[in-house]
Every structure is written in structure tokens, then in C-alpha cells.
Structure 1
Amino acid sequence: MQKQRPLISRTVWILSLVSLFADFASEMLYPVVPVYLKEIGFSIALIGILEGFAEFVVGLSKGFFGKLSDDTGRRLPFIRWGYALSAMSKPMMAIFTWPAWIFLARSTDRMGKGLRTAARDALLAAESTHGNRGRIFSFHRGWDTVGAVLGPLFALAFLQWFPGQYRSLFFWALVPGVVSIALLFLLREKPAATQPAAHRVPFSPFSYLSYWKQSSPEYRHLLRGLLLFALGNSSDAFLLLQAKAITGSDSITIGAYIFYNIVYALSAYPMGILADRWGMKKTLVSGLLIFVAVYTGFAFNTSIAGVFILFFLYGIYAAATEGISKAWIANLAPAEKRGTAIGFYTSWQSICTLVSSSAAGLIWTAGGHTFMFLSAAALTLISLGWLVTGKIGKRPMPEG
């Protein structure tokens, strides 16, 4: 009798734990980075430009390394080096405070994300099927978000004992980053499906762009809607800055961010199950409607209780969209091109975030936070209109 394949494979478990520790390292810094940057002289506009520039770096690299992963048929080298670069970048931000150095450190972190993202997601897709892909991607996102709970909790406790000692946190973040790299050596490389050499586009840094013409109409319609949304979805740093302005407290702001990640972590896997049963389109559209409510709320809210309510809703939104969108894309791509398909999307998503974060910082500076949040909500409504008009996901690609 053939041995039944477990619903959650060993590879998925290890990748999930890797993401947990990597996100522990990143998220123990994320709530304090905007505050730290302001302390060393960065303006709101410059913070927006920094976040946008960092996303531009990751945007260029995701598509490049996604296609390279497909062409070589290898995933692990990209995943390992990606997590290693991100781990090494953490203490860099504390060594010097020169703007150019901060940009370099942030870009190194994002380059690591660009190296690993498409290869890791292609490996997750290979460990799943059309019937359970939503829950597998959401399972991974859920454990990733557990790290996003533990990281800010550590930061909160540390700052209670050592108020204002932001730089020390950057050095402590190296520890979980190293653990994430060590876990990756428990994985063994499996041959991935590759397309025949005769069918490959001559390789260049931008050769992954040719996938747009090769992809299905369903894939292109989905990406147009997702990228339109990305143009309105700026860095979460702006939510944290507004939360700090309302609460007046680092501890409460970090606490609200922890609360958001707890909601996200607990909701991710159930949302993945819902997407597999109810449909990815319905689940994702519902999540985007919640995003509109959250950003509209941040435009007008002035109470601490309102901050926690909005971050609760934001956790539901994230659980209903982030893993689901990639699982949906994986369903619309052939196995030998999943790295390219996911890399193409995440690449352009990051470039859109460059525009969004840079514009958000400038809009906030010129017109205030209310106008910035309402503009994002309005653009999201337009992307929703596009997504609900298309018949997407009706013809998933056969498994490789």
C-alpha cells in the first residue's frame, strides 16, 4: 500500500519555522525602526523614500532570482543566501547613522528577501496541490506571523528594561536570524521541474518580464488587480506612525502591533481552509474590503481603543490576502515556471510599493495623514472593482 502523503510535509514545517525565526529578527525591529529613524534625523518624507527605495531593490531582485531558480531547477541556494543576507543586515543599521549607510543596510535586507521569496514560494507550491494550496501557503504565513508576535514582544520587554536603547536591539536581532539559517540545512534539495532549454528566453536581469506574454489571461487579469491594490498599499510604517501619534506611547504602539500579528497568526490557517473551500477570489476580495475599512478608520480615528480595533481588522485582512494571493498565482502557473510567475508578481508588487510608500510620505507631509489614508482606500476600491469583474481561477494549471 502506498504511504499517504502528510497534509503538512516536513519541508513545509521547516520552511515555516525558518520564516518564524527570520520574522522574529525582522519584527523585533520593525515597530521601532520609524521611531529610530526619526531620532537620528530622518523626516517622514525621507522614511517614505527609504522604504520605497528598499522595496525597489527587492522588486528588481525577486523576478530576476525567481526566473534563475526556475532555469537552474534549484531552490535551496537562493533560500539560504536570501535569509543569510537579511540576518547580516540587521546590525548594520546600528553601526553608523549616515543616511547612505542606512539605505545600504536596508537594501541588503531587501536583497535577501528578493533572493529567497520566489524560490521559497515555488518550493511551497511543489509541496501542495490545487486542493490544499491555500491552506499550505496560509500555514506558512501563520508561523511566519508567530515570529512577528514574538519579535515585538521581545522588543517591548527590552525597551521596558532599557528605554530608548534602540541600537542594541539591532544586534540582538542577529541571534534568531542565525537560527533561521541553521534550520535550512535540515532540508535536502529536490530536483525541480525545468522548461526545455530551447524554450527559454536568453537570460538577462529583466528576462523574467517576458513571462507576461507567456502567461494565461487569468494570470494577467489577477495581476492587474493585485498591482493596482499595491499602488495604494504603502508601508505599515505609516500605520505605526499614526498609532504612535494617537497613543503617544512606544509601548502601546508596539502592543497594538503585537495584537495585530496575533490576530493574523491565528486567522491565517483558517483563512487558507476557507479559500480552498469557498474560493480564493471571494476570500481575497473580502480581505480587501476589510483593508478599505481599516484605512478609512485610521483617517479619522483618535482613540486608543480604535487603534486596537483597527489592528484587529488589519490582521483579518492580512490573513485573507497575503498567503492566498500567492497560492492563487501558483494555481495559474505551470510547475516549471512558478518561480518566474511568483517572482514577476512580487517584483512588480515591490515596485508599486516603492511608488506607494514614497507618495504616501509626500502626501502625508503635504496634506496630512487623513488625505493619505483616504487616497489608499479609494485606490483599493478601484482594484476591487477590477478583480470582481474578471473570471479568474476557473482553469488552474495541471500539477507538475
Structure 2
Amino acid sequence: MESEKESKKQFFGLNSVIFVLGMVSLFTDLSSQMIVPILPLYLTSVLHVQIGTVGIIEGIAESTASVLKFFSGWISDRFGKRKLLMVGGYGLSNLIKPFFALSSTWGQVLFIRFADRLGKGIRTSPRDAILADTTTKEDRGKAFGFRRSMDTLGAALGPFATYLILTLWNGSYQAVFWLSAIPGLIATLILIFSLKDKRNPTKTQISVRTLPKISFKGLNSRFVWFTLITTLFTIGNFSDAFLILRAKDVGMAAQYIPLTYFAYNIVTSIFSTPFGIISDRIGRRPVLIAGYVMFASIYLGFGLVHTVFGIWILFFTYGLYYATTEGIQKSYVADMVPQGQRGMAMGTFNALTGIATLPASVMAGFLWQSFGAFTAFGVSSLIAILSALLLIILRI
């Protein structure tokens, strides 16, 4: 069949599906990360929004939209056509982001941010299910690591592009917002014209009348415990917007903050595939435990740091944390769940961890505004240590 032939084509040792999804992730994140490093600065400096409100905006946008990851996973399992959902999700995100340039209130920013995350919610679970379905357990870590590497390469180029635009356009945030449309359009066109979809042959396992629920029924205990522990960890993993505000708080000039994002994303891009391969060889759990402990140390550092040099070091090591967790967590879920349930399992996992970002960011905003940055970062560090201990004790 044509779809099977497409999946067997090799690009740099990867099948064509994985390569295309990597390119789509690269250009989408290039577009997104042109905006992310300056949005908290735009909110606090131009719109004069308080830090607590930034937490609410980030929490609502991330957590509410993440419920769509669950529904999109169920729909992709039920109907098998994952590409349609992905085109809708990537298209919505890439079309809506430039309209930040027209926003004049935090409510408008919230709406655009929510629509952007809504698009991510629609596309993420079908994309992860395609990755899982086109790989084996022996090379799945490499595949998820490659997609994450391309994702973070785009995420590194985005802030660098922002730095150049701010320099050339005299610090104009609006110029960054509008120009972010270009890589977003490229990503959407690559997806539409280069990805061959195929119907999931196991779709009949899901009843037409079965509606999606955030439930662990029918899923094994390892997946249940892992999802609960990861959700706990996410409650302490608040929005990166607070890292940006911390850099500004310490004294870093606004035009250089996108370069810290460039640095940590370059590190993540370089190390995601190697850590994915390591997880294929020694297991996912040891790598994830190391990542959680690393996160705890980094966030404690953000709470204690008082110099711009220290901020640079922390952003570099933050890239290593991402390389040891993001793609590997999803590889671990794929290992635990059979093919016919992966869309639903990815949706459940993404929804629960996504919902947890609401209390995470709201809590961080409240703690920072009420007790200071050290308290906010310190609480997150303790939650990460607890999560790592649970992975060790329960031997998930």
C-alpha cells in the first residue's frame, strides 16, 4: 500500500513519517518561540499586568486547552484519520499567534493564548499516536527524541530570530508577532502536502457509543501510577514565563532574554536524541528520575540566583532537563500501552498533566506575589524531589 511504502522511505535513517513530523515541529516551534520569550515582558511592561495575573493567563491557556488532547486522542483512535486533526490543530495555532500584535488588554492576550494552546491540544495526541504506531519499542525512544530535537531546534531558532528582530526594529514587539506568521505557514503547508495518512486498522476496538472519559479503566497499573506521578510533578512545573520574569528580576536586559531561550533550546535539541537512545538501552525510568532530580536542582537555583551569569548557567542546564524528560515520558507511555489504546492513553496522559498546569502557574503566581520568588521556586523543587522518590520507591 502507498502509505506503507511512504513509512518505509528513509531520511537520515528515519522513516518519512517521523522526518516530516520533525520538520513540522521545527517550523511550528520556531514560530511559537519567537513569541514566548517576549510575551511575559509584553504583559508586564507594556500592558502593566501583575505577576499573579500572568500565572492565571498561562494556567488557563495551558490546562483548559489540554483537555482537547484527550478528546483528540479518542477521536483519532475512533476514526483512524489522525492527519485531519493535526492539520486543524497546527493551522489554528499558526494562524492565531500573529494577532498578539493587535492586543491591547490582558483579556485579549488570554483569548489568543488560549486559541493557540487549543490548537496544540487538538494536534498533540494524534501526532504522538502516529509516532508510536510507526515505530517499534526498540527504536521508539530515538523517534520521539528526534521529533523533540527538531521541536527544540525550532524553539532555539525562534528566540534568536526575535533577538534579531528586536535589534533591527528598535525593540518592536509587534514586528515579532507579525513575522512569526511566516514559519507557521511553512509548517502547515509541509503537513498538508507531505504527510501521508492511513486509517488505523484497530479503530473497531472502540465503540461508536463510547464517549471519552478521563479514566484509567482497561489500562494497566504501571500506566496509571506513572501518569499520577507525572501529574504531581507537573503541579510543580509551572510556566516558563516565570523563568523569563526571574531573568528580568535579576537584571538581565529585555533584548537579551530571548537569547537565554535560544541557549536552553539548543542544548535540548542537541541532547534529546542521544538521551532517547540511552533510554532505549538502559530503560526510560532511570533517565526520567535523573531528569526530575535535575529539575529540582535547577528550580532551586532560580530561587537563589542573584546574577545574570547565574541565569545563563541555569538556562543551559534547563535544556538538559528537557532532553531527559519530554520525549522520553511519551515513549514510556507508548511502551506501556498496546497499539489500539495509544491514542486514548496519550490523550489521558496529556490531559491530566495539562490540567495540572493550571494550579501550577496559579500557585506560582500567588507564592511569588505573596512571599517572593524563592518560595515559588522552592516549593516546585520539593514537589520534583517527591516525584522522583515515588518513581524509585514504586519501581514503575
Quick check: TM above 0.5? yes
2:96: which partner in 1?
Answer: 89
Partner residue of 2:142 out of 110, 135, 139: 135
1:191: which partner in 2?
Answer: 199
Q: Indicate the larger mover: 134-143 or 246-255.
A: 246-255
Structure 1 residue 203: deviation in Å? Answer: 4.2
Partner residue of 2:239 out of 224, 235, 243: 235
Structure 1 portions without partners, runs of 5+: 393-400
Distance 1:215 1:242 in 2: 40
Partner residue of 2:51 out of 44, 57, 66: 44
Q: Which amino acid aligns with 1:34?
A: P
1:19 aligns with 2:25: yes
Asked if the contact 1:72–1:194 (Cα under 8 Å) also holds between the matched residues in 2, the reply is no
1:397: which partner in 2?
Answer: none
1:255 aligns with 2:259: yes
Give TM-score scaled by structure 2 length.
0.94
Asked if the contact 1:25–1:175 (Cα under 8 Å) also holds between the matched residues in 2, the reply is yes
1:157: which partner in 2?
Answer: 164
How much is the aligned-residue C-alpha RMSD, in angstroms? 1.5
Distance 1:388 1:241 in 2: 33
Q: How does 1:1-400 map to 2 (within 5 A)?
A: 6=10, 7-38=13-44, 39-184=46-191, 185-196=193-204, 199-200=206-207, 202-204=209-211, 207-210=212-215, 212-392=216-396
Q: Which amino acid aligns with 1:192?
A: N
Asked if the contact 2:171–2:255 (Cα under 8 Å) also holds between the matched residues in 1, the reply is no
Distance 1:373 1:163 in 2: 33
Structure 1 residue 152: deviation in Å? Answer: 0.5
Asked if the contact 2:55–2:361 (Cα under 8 Å) also holds between the matched residues in 1, the reply is yes
Q: Which amino acid aligns with 2:342?
A: R
Structure 1 residue 114: deviation in Å? Answer: 0.5
Asked if the contact 1:79–1:120 (Cα under 8 Å) also holds between the matched residues in 2, the reply is yes
Q: Which amino acid aligns with 1:351?
A: I
The 3-state SS of whatever aligns with 2:275 is helix
Asked if the contact 2:299–2:378 (Cα under 8 Å) also holds between the matched residues in 1, the reply is yes
Asked if the contact 1:20–1:146 (Cα under 8 Å) also holds between the matched residues in 2, the reply is yes
Q: Which amino acid aligns with 1:17?
A: M
Asked if the contact 2:97–2:116 (Cα under 8 Å) also holds between the matched residues in 1, the reply is yes
Percent identity (aligned): 35
Q: Which amino acid aligns with 1:72?
A: F
Distance 2:327 2:183 in 1: 23
Asked if the contact 1:87–1:174 (Cα under 8 Å) also holds between the matched residues in 2, the reply is yes
Asked if the contact 2:163–2:256 (Cα under 8 Å) also holds between the matched residues in 1, the reply is no
Asked if the contact 1:193–1:335 (Cα under 8 Å) also holds between the matched residues in 2, the reply is no
Structure 1 residue 161: deviation in Å? Answer: 1.6
Structure 1 residue 9: deviation in Å? Answer: 0.6
- 1:193–1:333 distance in 2 versus 1, CA, 3 Å: farther
Asked if the contact 2:78–2:204 (Cα under 8 Å) also holds between the matched residues in 1, the reply is no
Asked if the contact 1:146–1:262 (Cα under 8 Å) also holds between the matched residues in 2, the reply is yes
Distance 1:96 1:309 in 2: 34
Deviations 1:306-347 (A, max 9, x none): 112111211111000000000100111111111111111111
Structure 2 portions without partners, runs of 5+: none
